[in-house]
Amino acid sequence: MLTISRLLILRFKHEWHTLGEQEVVQTLASHPEAGLTHEEATKRHQQMGANQLTGKSGKSPWLRFLEQFNQPLLYILLTTGVVTLLLRDWIDAGVIFGVTLINVIISYIQESKAEGAIAALSKAVTTEATLIRDGQKTRLASTELVLGDLVLLGSGDKVPADLRLLTVRGLQVDESALTGESVPVEKATTSLAVETPLAERSNIVYAGSFVSFGQAEGIVVAIADATEIGRISQLIESSTNLKTPLTRNIDKFSKSLLYVILGLAALTFAVGLGQGESWIDVFKASVALVVSAIPEGLPAIVTVTLAIGVSRMARRKAIIDASEFRAIT
């Protein structure tokens, strides 16, 4: 019987490809023919939780929408819009707020698409699995799998967890979503060296991949976030706010441009007052300068430009088109 501490250690073990079939079965306190008992499986499920990827608690749509206003350039637009509204210049105020709102909506849509990609990964291991418990074949949701479960695979099946193969009959697996390999990979049960790279571990099948041909029997060695696709999901989540060189340069350019625009607006206001003009007229002229000079469409332009570039790269086979990642569609 496995203790909780032993289960936690095994959950993050990444050298199952080096062990023989019998050693794997013994380590996981399972049975090569009868699998786990229902009582033991229930206990392990309570100890380790469901076989599903975890993610950060999602923010409400309204909060994510309001966060899009947190941009220095938009602060100036909003300020000038409010002052223009107080001066009862309804048309100019409407134009300023309209431009600001369009920019925020575009940013919100782009962020929602990014979060959708992460959510899609969370569904990659969600399927049904055929397994053996108490010597009986049964079919359960993949979320019910635990370490040591004996899983049966056949053509067309989605792999529900990371499995160490025990028996193989002409098994070929499509691992393109994980390794980028464009053709199905032939699998075997032979033990491998420790330094064998992930893409060459022929005795392991990974959650989210597809069985394109053959049959096999494997034992669950990793579930949920401990799977390889789970590790990818966690890496994506931890890097969603990563600043790339492009975004850093855009931020730097935006701040520099903001200082220049504010300086010119202040100079325009001072010169107008010095020439005896009405402060209201001078302020409106300064507002017009600020609104016309601020590149509120810069995020949209960058996004469209990058999208066009990615589309052209995909057509020229420089990258893999997202539609080919069947495991997350």
Render 3-64 in DSSP notation, one character per residue: -HHHHHHHHT---GGGS-HHHHHHHTT--TTT-B-HHHHHHHHHHH--SS---PPPPPHHHH
Tens-digit pLDDT string for the chain (329 aa): 555 444 444 544 558 999 999 999 988 999 999 999 999 999 999 988 888 877 655 567 788 788 777 777 677 777 777 877 877 778 877 887 887 888 788 777 766 765 665 555 555 546 789 999 999 999 999 889 999 999 999 999 999 999 999 999 999 999 887 877 778 999 999 999 988 988 899 999 999 899 999 999 999 999 988 888 888 777 766 655 556 677 677 778 777 877 888 888 889 888 888 888 888 888 878 877 776 776 656 665 666 676 677 667 767 766 544 444 444 33
Domain definitions of the chain by residue range: 4-51+127-233, 61-121+243-328
Q: By C-alpha distance, which of 55, 77, 74 is closest to 65?
A: 74
- Class of the CATH domain delimited by 4-51+127-233: mainly beta
CA triple 249-119-172, angle to 5 deg: 110
215 vs 173: CA distance, rounded Å: 10
β partners of residue 137: 132
